[in-house]
Structure 1
Amino acid sequence: MKNALLLTTGIFILTLFASCGSNKDLQERSPAQFNEVYYTYNSNGIELNIPITAIQDQRISMDAVYFHGMKSKLEKSQEKPNLYVANFRMGSDDMVMHEDPKQEYGNKPPQLPEESPFSIEEDEAILVFTQNDKIKYYKLTGIVEKE
């Protein structure tokens, strides 16, 4: 009887810890106000642009984004202060191929696929942001391709 009680208590505690660790919920409220989110293809891959009209910089930091089966860090644009950009490397046209491996030193490999924690469509992305020291997720929808 005592062993059964210990076993049940142990399973309960493990379940409690496991559910706390995997608490990844999409946020209903947007962490910022966005303009039209778009992406373009360039010689290195895909560039995802997230224009923001309003954000509380002191409370929210934009960290990363999942898009087209890959994950990339978000960086604030140098030219446009309200634009966040994520670059997804899909290979490069200017790779050096040579019989001497030392000649290929500067080549950058394509980005490895990384599965999104949520199911998304082709015109959607998952934004990873930090708010009050907590990692949160928000789904961006209606992403369009521009040239």
Structure 2
Amino acid sequence: MTKILFFMAGVLMVVLFASCGSNKDLQERAPAQFNKVYYTYNSNGIELNIPVVSIQDELVSLDAVYFHGMKSVLEKSDDQPNLYVANFRMGTGDMVMDADPAKEYGNKPPQLPEESPFSIDEDEAILVFTQDDKIKYYKLTGIVEKE
């Protein structure tokens, strides 16, 4: 009898854990009001800029973004308080190459690809944000390149 109980408890645990992982749904409503999202290329790679018109900082936290097959943390810009920036290292910057490995210490490797939890086009990104202590996702569309 106890073997059946342990088996049933194990099956219940597997079902519970499997259902928790499948709660990744795109939100229909934006977590903030955004201006036109754009990206630029710099010496290190891609810089994605997300200008925010209004956000309730105490309720919503913008955490990360998936863009062009990579994931990066979002940080508030020091220069512009309503701008969130994500940097994607492409490995195109200056690197020190030397026979002595110690001299190559400061080199930053390119970012590894990280697949988005949702399929997106080249002009789209998935915004990862936290609201009510829950991780949520929102699709940003119409992203343009600025020079």
Query: TM-score, normalised to structure 1's length?
Result: 0.91
The secondary structure found in structure 2 opposite 1:14 is helix
Greater displacement, 4-13 / 135-144 = 4-13
Write the mapping of 1:78-89 to structure 2, written as runs, cut at 5 A.
78-89=78-89
Greater displacement, 137-146 / 18-27 = 18-27
Q: Alpha-carbon deviation of 1:94?
A: 1.2
Aligned counterparts of 1:15 and 1:98: Cα–Cα separation in 2: 53
Partner of 1:17: 17
Greater displacement, 60-69 / 92-101 = 92-101
Alignment length (residue pairs): 147
Aligned counterparts of 2:56 and 2:100: Cα–Cα separation in 1: 51
Seq. identity, %: 78
Greater displacement, 22-31 / 91-100 = 91-100
Question: Is 1:70 the equivalent of 2:70?
Answer: yes
The secondary structure found in structure 2 opposite 1:92 is coil
Q: Alpha-carbon deviation of 1:102?
A: 1.3
Q: Match of 1:59, as an amino acid? A: L
The secondary structure found in structure 2 opposite 1:48 is strand
RMSD between superposed Cα atoms in Å: 1.9
Partner of 1:55: 55
The answer on whether the counterparts of 2:74 and 2:84 sit within 8 Å (CA) in structure 1 is yes
Aligned counterparts of 2:130 and 2:145: Cα–Cα separation in 1: 27
Q: Alpha-carbon deviation of 1:15?
A: 2.2
The secondary structure found in structure 2 opposite 1:85 is strand
Question: Is 1:111 the equivalent of 2:107?
Answer: no
Q: Alpha-carbon deviation of 1:132?
A: 1.2
Spell out, residue by residue over 1:93-135, the C-alpha distance to the aligned partner (whole angstroms, 9 max, x if none). 3101111111111111101111111111100000000001111
Which aligned runs of 4 or more in structure 1 are off by greater than 4 angstroms? 3-10
Partner of 1:44: 44
The answer on whether the counterparts of 2:67 and 2:126 sit within 8 Å (CA) in structure 1 is yes
The secondary structure found in structure 2 opposite 1:88 is strand
| Change beyond 3 A, Cα 1:103–1:10 | closer
Q: Alpha-carbon deviation of 1:11?
A: 3.7
Q: Match of 2:57, as an amino acid? A: D
